[in-house]
Structure 1
Amino acid sequence: MTDAPADSAVLDTVEHASETPDREQPWAELGLKSDEYERIREILGRRPTSAELAMYSVMWSEHCSYKSSKVHLKKFGELPQETPLGKTLAGIGENAGVIDIGQGYAVTFKVESHNHPSYVEPYQGAATGVGGIVRDILAMGARPVAVMDPLRFGPLTADDTRRVLPGIVAGVGGYGNCLGLPNIGGEVVFDPTYLGNPLVNALCVGVLRHEDLHLAFASGVGNKVVLYGARTGGDGIGGVSVLASETFSEGGPTKRPSVQVGDPFMEKLLIECTLELFAAGVVNGIQDLGGAGLSCATSELASAGDGGMRVELDTVPLRDSSLSPEEILMSESQERMMAVVEPQHLDAFMAICEKWDVEAVTIGEVTDGDRLVIDWHGRTVVDVPPRSVAHDGPVYERPFARPASQDALQADGAERLPRPTTGDELRETLLRLVGSPNLADKSWVTDQYDRYVQGNTVLAQPEDAGVVRVDEESHLGVAVSTDCNGRFAQLDPYAGAQLALAEAFRNVAVTGALPLAVTDCLNFGSPEDPAVMWQFEQATHGLKDACAVLGIPVTGGNVSFYNQTGETAILPTPVVGVLGVIEDVRRRVTQGFAREGDHVLLLGETREELSGSTWADVVHDHLGGLPPAVDLEAEQALAAVLQEAGRRGLLTAAHDLSDGGLAMALVEASLRHDVGVRVELDDPFVDLFSESSARAIVAVAEEHHEELVTLAADHGLALSSIGRTGGDAVEVVGSFSVPISEVRAAWSATLPAVLGPMLS
């Protein structure tokens, strides 16, 4: 057979590929480099078929293969995979990490990105980001119980922010609300670097018994491969796997593959069906179909098993009968799962799917040997070693170098910036920060989310961490927080990643929970830029070192590169999620001042650390200097005091100090229940606006004051009594007083003024 113009109409089988070694193929258009294409030919001993090329292109994409980050992520595997409650039940490499939380329960959690699709099509991009992370949790054998959404946007007033933000928020809320999953936390951050490249990170938490844990692998020759859920369509062909592996140009995305379209009602059926399949014991291995679709599910299941796999691609149920084999393999249509089922369980499996009105089709079986073979209408279009597709892709040791501008950036500290000196100026500064987009009321966003569906939400936004009850009898629960200050990471990515971890760790601790484990979503610019790779290397190094000190494992996560528009990269944004356990959620501690006359105590030390602060940003539009010092031992001491104080019932409120410093913590604690506060400060400006780490404020009743003082001393934790709760104002003695009503007006007006009234 010879190449000819009409040859493109010939089915590109393995036999045909062997006979036409010189046929031109669109490897560059599919995102492959020339050396990557040559390596594929070397692996196969021939050119790939069109279907094989499609599989390799999506599976070797940055999003799926982690080819630029693998060498740096290995360090997380060096961390002890143990927590104070026992070993990690599943960690890096699985669909999601699984942590023992006691009483026979385990919790699985993970955060992932859906950034680029959410810029192209905000609603569906965000919605399918939620759907994908929920299926990752489901695939571990867990019932999803809550979601969170760390979000980043360009300036609030920018036209493109007004385009993407409403759609993204509606997508997160619409999908999660329809699934009946409470949204218990997250972040909404604005910065010019995210203009044209918003970040949509989605986290899900699931609960399971130890014995219900399931892993993704295909084993047992003769076992059936079953595809169930939604039909495969033309939406999301290439999807996130291609889109998230490409930098956006100034005018928009350089590639616009269809963004996936979600159906949360189908996903709800899929959840209930899958949990019943697990309970019936009719599943050997399972994998969700997310990024790279069937290419990923077939190759990963086969690669993790003890044999090969043969698939009849023409048995895949389609929404569009015109799809080619390549398109079917690349489609990222949502709400689909793949299971490996023993033949004797197949009828029971199908009966359960039929009960839930979930379409299920046997598309192949586990075979002897080590090949993944895919046929189309009786002819073989794929014959590959599955591991070469799923796990043995390119590994790049990208060059990285500290940017020449970093020294000047760090030398330009906030010390030189003019400061408020009078009480009136301090008052004005406080109100200005309170109404700034990053500190203002986010209820325009969070009121679109159902935070209390299922009835097990104990704490949710605007609390420091979300808390859900796991067991209704013992009241065992978990707390989760996600955090990252990209401004700190820009100043020092090593310290910035540690500060993100420390803040999430602290936010979990203020509820009274014991932090146990970490998941991360590492959002950076182009890995082909040595300065970006330096940021990434420093951030992963910092995160690993901090986890080692704090004694908590990284159980999994996500890397998102190419987050930049033209030459403008986003701030390095290593979002860190921390999960903790609380033995009795009835003893959780809330952030708001609840009554008058309680002592207000500051735990931790305040230093003059204003570089990278919200004050420097809002008042002076300044970014420079060094971020606050990291003190992990102090974070541990603070967490230990907060946990023990919570367990003993000593606290009426607790709030961590982070963005906006003591000023914002006092404001938010007062706004929660309209209970004011009166404090005395030695240096009002520094004390109010410094963003030193390892700090929290607590409210304590008179009868528990001395006990808390003793507890802090026993842990070597600095403690200062700064005032009392009460009244209807936030007052700094000798400087200023501002009524809570005025604070609330400034705090609540910002987002509605730009985005308009929230649609019901």
Structure 2
Amino acid sequence: MQQPYLELGLTDDEYARIREILGRYPTDAELAMYSVMWSEHCSYKSSKKHLRYFARTATPSMLAGIGENAGVVDAGDGWAVTFKIESHNHPSYVEPYQGAATGVGGIVRDIMAMGARPLAVADSLRFGPADAPDTRRVLPGAVAGIGGYGNSLGLPNIGGELVFDESYAGNPLINALCVGAMRVEDLHLAHASGVGNRIILFGARTGLDGIGGVSVLASDTFGTDTGRKKLPSVQVGDPFTEKVLIECCLELFAAKLVVGIQDLGGAGLACATSELAAAGDGGMRIELDRVPLRAQGMTAAEVLASESQERMCAVVAPSDVDAFMKVCEKWDVLATDIGEVTDGERLVITWHGETVVDVPPRTVAHEGPVYDRPIARPSTQDAVVADTSASLPRPSSAAELRETVLRLISAPNQASKEWVTQQYDRYVRGNTVLAQPSDSGMIRIDESTGRGVAVSTDCNSRFVYLDPYAGSQLALAEAYRNVAVSGATPVAVSDCLNFGAPTDPGVMWQFERSVHGIADGCVELGIPVTGGNVSFFNQTGSTAILPTPVVGVLGVIDDVTRRIPTGVGSEPGEMLILLGETFDELDGSAWAQLHGHLGGVPPKVDFAREKLLADVVLAGSRDGMISAAHDLSDGGLAQALVEMVLIGQCGARAFLDDRADPFVQLFSESSGRILVAVPRSEELRFTEMCKARYLPWRKTGVVDPESGTLELQGITEFTLDELRETWEATLPKLFA
């Protein structure tokens, strides 16, 4: 018969280490705590060694970073902004609606735990082939869950991604981001300090849902005493409870009734109690039988491991307990005093008078195993690099180029995502400034001054597969550029690193190269990595997903009225100017994907050029020289032109360089390029600024509101109606 600790995901060596720490056999409750807290999701035992490399990105503007519930940066004028992106991949495959919904709920509570008001969410989604039966099962449910939870909270969904690829069949990625704001002095951290301070659990009752969800392991051990079947690994969310919890927390913060706070997400009370105690200056004693339950007959291990949603744990001074309880009562939030901070160095938990946990809290929360996994560049990588797209047939005639544009914009990855985003409330609360399909979402954080923040998430996993270091830097560069083209200054990064099994040396090679690529890029850009998430074991059988390090970039803007829209058409005669240089870089591109090809090398990255581009666009925004802007990425210039005219509902004429291949000009995905619309009156001033800063530029077209067409001069012409029908029809045909 298999040992109970093996069923909980612990190895023989890990169990031996637990016995060494305790000097005895662990109780069932202790075993439950160590198993969930030492899981890959909570302990980062395979990634911790590599994540330390992010420390080199730290900057003075970072107020809280890796290790906290969410990263926090100074946003100016006394404002602090907190944001984070996390995964909820496996639960969303098992139960798409609740898996995705509770992913949103969890990331929102991370923002609440920093003392901030959550302001907006975004999501980065990846599924198998768009026409696959299982995609039709998972995608609608996940989108409905994200919309259902976020809409009920009254949080606008302002951006994200939707990508389809065979590698995600059976293992979709559901990555959720939340951004919030607070005054700098209102920043709260997770620690249990002050002997005698009370530990108060508040929010929803604790049930059986979510047990084992964080480690995605069998949970039979937790249920054997009661004869129950396997317990569910997907949490069940109640957004209306969380909405009230948000307002309750904000009032508690404003009244300064909280010493420390921790949300209950992955690993539930096992995590909250051990992390609060480990970060404090003493020990902690918890009376677990005081925890309000919604299921009869739960064991101590089950109560500790439950991941029931909408719960928070606060450290409160005894003199403030009555006031704390009154605020909770006002909001009809259940609150229970379950313990206190002690002067010892142990986390002691009792259950109906019996001590079921007596452990050093740091050994649970921070001193789990750290593995130095084998790393090896896959032997197949040389063949991948050598298999370039040069052998693919390239369109050359006007008819072939026209057909390729239409095929490109109707492909699921390039087609309009309106079918998804129309299910989200993008403008609730009235502070949304930009939302999808803009390059980045933007939200106002201060109505009196117009100060705001912008966020963008990006990753072309095809590029990462070709070269994990360069591909990850391309993801960073694209997210950075997307924030800049909105008129905001990029200031920080949060990443969600989605990879296959860490026991595979090839996966760990991808992971290490990706981390180094992002960190090195952030150093060049001068922005910190403030936190994020690692998600391993994303694979079906032995086949891993394409490596997918989703990079979220946060930007700040002092006045949202000068944000830059994506669509053209504010006035007739605007010039379209392409900033940056175009090279023959088609490997891993959207065009290559039309042919089912993946091989070669990704485009080159130049972070000095990215910084220069951002500086020029931001200067143009401040001085009124730019009326619209769109970065060039998936689909190249062709995709950017189509999206700018359709979003702006305005025609344009584009002219290509006679000295260069029109195919390369239209479909290359060279990095470091932005297409801007410049009013006629500002053309000379803008181009002189580009010359002075040695930024390559070229006139690429002119806006023509009266034409109702997009003309590629000398090649072909499309009516806006034709383009819109082609661009917007794909997803509704598949999923409506």
Q: TM-score, normalised by structure 1?
A: 0.94
Whichever residue aligns with residue 435 of structure 1, its letter is S
Work out whether residues 609 and 628 of structure 1, in 8 Å CA contact, stay in contact via their aligned partners in 2: yes
Aligned to 1:607: 583
Work out whether residues 566 and 648 of structure 2, in 8 Å CA contact, stay in contact via their aligned partners in 1: no
Aligned to 1:363: 338
Give the gaps of 5 or more residues in structure 1: 1-22, 246-254
Aligned to 1:237: 211
1:210 aligns with 2:190: no
**Aligned equivalent of 2:507, options 514, 532, 547:** 532
Deviation sequence 1:583-624 (CA, Å, 0-9, x none): 110000001012431111000000000000000001x11000
Counterpart Cα distance in 2 of 1:122 and 1:335 = 19
Counterpart Cα distance in 1 of 2:49 and 2:482 = 31
Work out whether residues 638 and 717 of structure 1, in 8 Å CA contact, stay in contact via their aligned partners in 2: yes
Task: Give the 3-state SS of the residue equivalent to 2:7 in structure 1.
Answer: coil
**Aligned equivalent of 1:75, options 34, 53, 57:** 53
- The 5-angstrom pairing of residues 43-54 of structure 1 reads 43-54=21-32
Work out whether residues 114 and 240 of structure 1, in 8 Å CA contact, stay in contact via their aligned partners in 2: no
Counterpart Cα distance in 1 of 2:474 and 2:9 = 35
Q: TM-score, normalised by structure 2?
A: 0.97
Task: Give the 3-state SS of the residue equivalent to 1:586 in structure 2.
Answer: helix
**Aligned equivalent of 1:277, options 252, 270, 282:** 252
**Aligned equivalent of 2:708, options 721, 728, 738:** 728
**Aligned equivalent of 2:150, options 176, 180, 184:** 176
Aligned to 2:7: 29
Deviation sequence 1:492-531 (CA, Å, 0-9, x none): 0000110000000000000111100000000000000000
- The 5-angstrom pairing of residues 287-306 of structure 1 reads 287-306=262-281
Deviation sequence 1:292-312 (CA, Å, 0-9, x none): 000000000000000000000
Counterpart Cα distance in 1 of 2:26 and 2:214 = 23
CA displacement at 1:733 relative to structure 2: 1.1
- The 5-angstrom pairing of residues 132-211 of structure 1 reads 132-211=106-185
- The 5-angstrom pairing of residues 480-629 of structure 1 reads 480-594=455-569, 595-618=571-594, 620-629=595-604
The size of the alignment, in residue pairs, is: 720
Counterpart Cα distance in 2 of 1:643 and 1:582 = 10
Whichever residue aligns with residue 361 of structure 1, its letter is T
Aligned to 2:630: 655
Counterpart Cα distance in 1 of 2:22 and 2:421 = 51
Task: Give the 3-state SS of the residue equivalent to 1:723 in structure 2.
Answer: strand
**Pair 288,653 (structure 1): closer, same or farther in 2 beyond 3 Å:** same
Whichever residue aligns with residue 305 of structure 2, its letter is M
Counterpart Cα distance in 2 of 1:183 and 1:460 = 8
Counterpart Cα distance in 2 of 1:431 and 1:133 = 38
Whichever residue aligns with residue 205 of structure 1, its letter is V
CA displacement at 1:740 relative to structure 2: 1.2
Aligned to 2:439: 464
Aligned to 1:744: 724
Counterpart Cα distance in 2 of 1:62 and 1:737 = 54
**Pair 660,275 (structure 1): closer, same or farther in 2 beyond 3 Å:** same
Aligned to 1:100: 74
Deviation sequence 1:111-170 (CA, Å, 0-9, x none): 000000000000000000000000000000000000000000000100110000000000
Counterpart Cα distance in 2 of 1:629 and 1:244 = 45
1:704 aligns with 2:682: yes
Counterpart Cα distance in 2 of 1:169 and 1:65 = 29
Counterpart Cα distance in 2 of 1:293 and 1:603 = 49
Task: Give the 3-state SS of the residue equivalent to 1:337 in structure 2.
Answer: strand
Task: Give the 3-state SS of the residue equivalent to 2:401 in structure 1.
Answer: helix
Counterpart Cα distance in 2 of 1:304 and 1:483 = 33
Work out whether residues 114 and 201 of structure 1, in 8 Å CA contact, stay in contact via their aligned partners in 2: yes
Work out whether residues 82 and 114 of structure 2, in 8 Å CA contact, stay in contact via their aligned partners in 1: yes
Work out whether residues 8 and 218 of structure 2, in 8 Å CA contact, stay in contact via their aligned partners in 1: no
Aligned to 1:12: none
Counterpart Cα distance in 2 of 1:492 and 1:562 = 20
Deviation sequence 1:429-451 (CA, Å, 0-9, x none): 00000000001011110000000
CA displacement at 1:25 relative to structure 2: 4.6
**Aligned equivalent of 1:644, options 589, 605, 619:** 619
Deviation sequence 1:413-462 (CA, Å, 0-9, x none): 11111100100000000000000000101111000000000110000010
Task: Give the 3-state SS of the residue equivalent to 2:471 in structure 1.
Answer: helix
Say which is worse superposed, 390-399 or 733-742, in terms of deviation.
733-742
**Aligned equivalent of 1:346, options 321, 324, 344:** 321
Work out whether residues 233 and 319 of structure 1, in 8 Å CA contact, stay in contact via their aligned partners in 2: yes
Aligned to 1:308: 283
Work out whether residues 637 and 716 of structure 1, in 8 Å CA contact, stay in contact via their aligned partners in 2: no
CA displacement at 1:258 relative to structure 2: 2.8
CA displacement at 1:722 relative to structure 2: 1.3
Counterpart Cα distance in 1 of 2:729 and 2:120 = 29
Task: Give the 3-state SS of the residue equivalent to 2:72 in structure 1.
Answer: strand
Whichever residue aligns with residue 142 of structure 1, its letter is A
Aligned to 1:473: 448
Work out whether residues 629 and 693 of structure 1, in 8 Å CA contact, stay in contact via their aligned partners in 2: yes
CA displacement at 1:243 relative to structure 2: 5.2
Work out whether residues 58 and 242 of structure 1, in 8 Å CA contact, stay in contact via their aligned partners in 2: no
CA displacement at 1:256 relative to structure 2: 7.6
Counterpart Cα distance in 1 of 2:160 and 2:120 = 12
**Aligned equivalent of 2:411, options 399, 423, 436:** 436
Task: Give the 3-state SS of the residue equivalent to 1:353 in structure 2.
Answer: helix
**Aligned equivalent of 1:64, options 20, 42, 50:** 42
- The 5-angstrom pairing of residues 382-401 of structure 1 reads 382-401=357-376
Work out whether residues 520 and 576 of structure 1, in 8 Å CA contact, stay in contact via their aligned partners in 2: yes
**Pair 481,256 (structure 1): closer, same or farther in 2 beyond 3 Å:** farther
CA displacement at 1:719 relative to structure 2: 0.4
CA displacement at 1:568 relative to structure 2: 1.0
Deviation sequence 1:220-256 (CA, Å, 0-9, x none): 11110000000000000111233599xxxxxxxxx98
Task: Give the 3-state SS of the residue equivalent to 1:407 in structure 2.
Answer: helix
Aligned to 1:248: none
Work out whether residues 239 and 257 of structure 1, in 8 Å CA contact, stay in contact via their aligned partners in 2: yes
Whichever residue aligns with residue 91 of structure 1, its letter is G
**Pair 133,301 (structure 1): closer, same or farther in 2 beyond 3 Å:** same
Task: Give the 3-state SS of the residue equivalent to 1:651 in structure 2.
Answer: coil
CA displacement at 1:24 relative to structure 2: 8.5
Whichever residue aligns with residue 113 of structure 1, its letter is S
CA displacement at 1:711 relative to structure 2: 1.4
Task: Give the 3-state SS of the residue equivalent to 2:446 in structure 1.
Answer: coil
C-alpha root-mean-square deviation of aligned residues, in Å?
1.2
Deviation sequence 1:232-290 (CA, Å, 0-9, x none): 00000111233599xxxxxxxxx984310000000001000011011111110000000
CA displacement at 1:81 relative to structure 2: 2.1
Counterpart Cα distance in 1 of 2:419 and 2:2 = 53
**Pair 357,226 (structure 1): closer, same or farther in 2 beyond 3 Å:** same
Work out whether residues 116 and 243 of structure 1, in 8 Å CA contact, stay in contact via their aligned partners in 2: no
Counterpart Cα distance in 1 of 2:423 and 2:247 = 25
Work out whether residues 208 and 231 of structure 2, in 8 Å CA contact, stay in contact via their aligned partners in 1: no
CA displacement at 1:569 relative to structure 2: 0.5
